[in-house]
């Protein structure tokens, strides 16, 4: 979700669901240590609970960035060990870290030692052609011993060479049973499932075996689905905001952000899927983006890609 779940997207998603935990896009340790920290770390108070997702493989750098995240007010620090992008691999982090569980454990220990908020790990169930359940079981066991108690398992292998990130989300076989088995083998840990979930019935089915479900692309492409979650999964009986109410609030928010120097497009691009599936959705998107239908098409193509 790099370049998508920025602070404007998360503000929009929080209008849809009050209780779901939100995650930042992955931020590299280099970007935080050497770059513009406010640009990467600033967020809206309404976003809580919100987790900062880090990309890196140097324990000392991750400890520094985890402390920054805690200081800025994030509720969780998440280490990405699941991204298969070759660009990410060149930085020696993401899914390739699963081949080095001891290093991941050292990274987690370095962060746990300096923050009080939870340190969590997002990972795949395997890499390349290693289809053995023992691989992910041993990875989780090693990292758990370092102080990580929450694991978010994308239930596909990551193919590190030859597949694009999009293909890595579609071609490797989903193995939900591996995630289920992790919960059986590590009942004391919180095991959360990611990958291929796009309807509430499937969420309920997975929650019979696991502690949580993470939704990525579907939440972005079909955001009004999130409006049902507080009632369905958190027992909140309050009525969700309507689409019109959300659009109105996003327009007010966009005006405030433009006054601070943001572009309107950078804010409103995230809500292009708000009316997905409804009659007149295309006309609404055209109106919302100022009749720039080509730009809307580019946004949707990038998300769906």
Active site residues: 83
Whole-angstrom Cα distance, residue 37 to residue 121?
Answer: 22
Whole-angstrom Cα distance, residue 136 to residue 124?
Answer: 8
Whole-angstrom Cα distance, residue 237 to residue 232?
Answer: 9
Close Cβ partners of 120 (under 8 Å, ≥ 6 residues apart): 51, 76, 77, 78, 79, 148, 149, 150, 151, 152
Are the C-beta atoms of 63 and 101 separated by less than 8 Å?
A: no
Please provide the size of the chain in residues.
305
Count of CB atoms situated within 10 Å of the CB of 218: 15
């Amino acid at each position: 979700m790099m370049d998508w779940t920025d602070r404007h997207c998360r503000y929009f998603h929080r209008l849809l669901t009050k209780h779901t935990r939100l995650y930042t896009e992955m931020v590299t340790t280099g970007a935080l240590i050497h770059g513009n920290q406010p640009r990467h770390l600033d967020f809206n108070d309404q976003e809580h609970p919100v987790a900062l997702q880090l990309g890196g493989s140097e324990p000392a750098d991750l400890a520094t960035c985890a402390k920054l995240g805690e200081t800025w007010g994030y509720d969780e620090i998440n280490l990405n060990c699941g991204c298969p992008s070759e660009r990410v691999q060149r930085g020696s982090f993401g899914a390739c870290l699963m081949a080095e569980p001891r290093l991941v454990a050292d990274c987690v220990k370095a962060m746990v030692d300096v923050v009080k908020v939870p340190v969590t790990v997002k990972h795949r169930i395997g890499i390349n052609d290693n289809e053995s359940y023992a691989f992910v079981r041993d990875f989780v066991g090693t990292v758990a011993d370092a102080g990580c108690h929450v694991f978010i398992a994308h239930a596909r292998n990551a193919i590190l060479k030859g597949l694009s990130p999009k293909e890595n989300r579609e071609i490797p076989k989903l193995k939900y049973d591996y995630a289920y088995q992790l919960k059986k083998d590590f009942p004391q840990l919180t095991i959360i499932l990611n990958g291929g979930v796009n309807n509430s019935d499937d969420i309920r089915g997975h929650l019979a075996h696991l502690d949580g479900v993470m939704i990525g692309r579907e939440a972005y492409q079909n955001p009004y689905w999130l409006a049902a979650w507080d009632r369905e999964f958190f027992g909140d009986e309050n009525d969700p905001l309507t689409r019109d109410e959300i659009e109105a609030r996003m327009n007010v928010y966009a005006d405030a952000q433009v006054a601070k120097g943001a572009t309107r497009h950078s804010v409103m691009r995230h809500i292009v899927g708000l009316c997905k599936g409804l009659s007149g959705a295309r006309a609404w998107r055209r109106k919302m983006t100022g009749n720039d239908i080509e730009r809307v098409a580019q946004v949707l193509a990038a998300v769906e890609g």
